[in-house]
Structures are given as C-alpha cells and as structure tokens.
Chain A
Amino acid sequence: MSELFPRKQVMGFVFSMVLTAVALLVYFLDMSFTAGMTVLLITAFVQAGLQLVVFMHAGETDDKGSIYTNIFYGVVIALVTVFGTLLILVWDM
C-alpha cells in the first residue's frame, strides 16, 4: 500500500495545503493592501512552481530544456500582458 503513496508527492500535497493556509491569512488578518498582495504573489507562484516540478514531472526527460523554455516564455508573455495592461489602463502611466 505504501508504495502507492510516494513520499515526494505526499510532502508536495502537505506543502500545497500549508501554502493555501498561509494565503488565507490575508483574509483572516487585517493586512495592508501591499502586505496582502506580497503574501498572495509569493504563495501563488511558489504553489505553481510546486505543481510544475513535483506533480507535472517537468524536468524528467531530455526535453527538460524545451519544456522549461516554453513555460518560461508563456509566463513572460502572461506577465507582460497583465502588467502592461495594468500600467496603461489602471495605473495610468
């Protein structure tokens, strides 16, 4: 039975629950907007990285380089889209 629950994945799951709990502090504690957003940015990106490496086995084969390059590219375009939009339409710079 225990061979069905590899340690790495169980630890990954526990850690993802801990990250969710930390993110929830934003709701239960009275934080400033900046502090709250900092917590959320950190927990969300760590959580995403955790899924990618532990559960999605991104770095397993010889295609590792291509896979990470591609995801990195996707994330860069995503960040440029989001922050570019914020910059022009919301922060009015």
Chain B
Amino acid sequence: MKIDHSLPLEYSTEENRLKILGFWIFLGAEIMLFATLFASYFTLVDRTGSGPSGADIFEITPVLIETIVLLTSSFTIGLGVHAMRIGNKKAMLSFFAITLLLGAGFLGVEIYEFVHYAHIGAGIQTSAFTAILLTTLGTHGAHVTLGLLWGTAIILQVKKRGLTPETANKSFIFSLYWHFLDVVWIFIFSFVYLKGMM
C-alpha cells in the first residue's frame, strides 16, 4: 500500500481517494432520491381531503429547534474532521460524540413531532398530503437514524485502532454523509415547513 504523506490521512492511498469519490457518486444518487420525494410532495401538497393542511399542523418552534440542532451538528463534525487532520484524536472523538448527541436530539424532536401529528389526526393514512409529508420527513429521519448507528461504530473503531489511513477515511466519509443530511434538511425546512407556513 503506497501512502502519500503530503495528503491528509483520509486521502493518503489510492484506494482511499477512490472510496471518497465513490461516496460522492452515492450522494449524487441520494440527491435524485430526495428529488423524487420533493416532486411527489409538491404534487400532493394540496390534496388534503378532509384532513388538515400544512398550515394547520406545522409549528415553528420544534422546526426551528431541529434546524439549529442539525446545522450545529454539521459544524461540529466539520470541526471533528479538522481535529482529525491535525492528529488530535481526543478532540476529534469529542466532536464526533457531540455531533451524534445533537443528531439524537434532532431525532427526539422529530419523534415528538410525529407523535403530535398522529395525535391531532394527521397520520400517514389521513390524506395524500399527510402520506407524502410523513414519507419525506421519515426518509430523512431514517437516514439520520442510520447515521447515529454508523457514527457510533466509527467512534468505537477510532477509539480501538487509532487514526490510520483506513479509520480516517471511514470517518471522513461519515462526515460527508452527515453534512449531506444537513443539506437535505435545509430543503425540507425551506420548501416543506416555511413554504407551508408562509
């Protein structure tokens, strides 16, 4: 294995570089996946039947908390990758742990929101609107849930094996995934919630 020391650890071998490029290609596919959900959402948003509309059920406070928490977690994982690059394993693990805690906080608020929707009669079977709303939000939430499990595994592995080209590469790829979830959330925040409450 040829290690190029002029590059950060996560890029240091050809395999590592290709894995990062491969993950970007996966993210390209994820963009298209969420585009189909947004397309369906915009189509069905007014088909509320006898159920509530977005303006009836959206609340600004939980949505704002979710947005700030997720944006902050995107920042802390960025700091984690920076700490990894300067070789500070302890700081890196702390930043990754903070990121996952914020992610869990986000998920907690989202679960509260879903329970609240179900409670006020906006379940997944209420109308075409609630169905696509919960499918879109749920797909994002499922990604965050997977991210929590993945991130925990990354932290454990870096703890056990230290920073090697392999673990650094995995950590960097995880950070790409996490930032991507934040980008998707920005679009949900803008075009589902804010547009709905406008």
Q: Enumerate chain A interface residues (CB-CB to B < 8 A).
A: 3-6, 9, 12-13, 16-17, 20, 23-24, 26-27, 31, 33, 36-37, 40-41, 43-44, 47-48, 51-52, 54-58, 60-61, 63, 66-67, 70-71, 73-75, 77-79, 81-82, 84-86, 89-90
Contact = CB atoms under 8 A, between A and B. Distances in A.
B39 A86 contact: yes
A51 B195 contact: no
Interface of B: 7, 11, 17, 20-21, 24-25, 27-32, 34-36, 38-40, 42-43, 60, 64, 67-68, 71-72, 74-75, 77-79, 81-83, 86, 88, 91, 175-176, 179-180, 182-183, 186-187, 189-191, 194-195, 197-198
A82 B198 contact: no
A12 B32 contact: no
B34, B71, B88, B91 pick with most chain A CB within 10 angstroms:
B71
Given A75-B31, A77-B32, A78-B34, A40 B21 contact: no
Nearest to B24: A67
B24 A51 contact: no
A23 B188 CA distance: 12
Nearest to B186: A47
A55 B189 contact: no
A81 B36 contact: yes
Contact of B39 (A24, A71, A81): A81
A86 B42 contact: yes
Contacts of A9: 75, 78-79, 82
A16 B71 contact: yes
A24 B195 CA distance: 10
Contact of B190 (A40, A57, A85): A40
- A contacts with B: majority SS: helix
A48 B35 contact: no
Contact of A23 (B28, B183, B190): B190
Contacts of A23: 189-190, 194
B20 A63 contact: yes
Contacts of A37: 195
Contacts of A48: 183, 186-187
B198 A78 contact: no
19 contacts: A9-B75, A9-B79, A12-B75, A13-B71, A13-B72, A20-B189, A24-B64, A26-B195, A44-B190, A47-B186, A48-B187, A51-B186, A55-B77, A56-B175, A57-B81, A61-B11, A71-B24, A77-B35, A89-B43
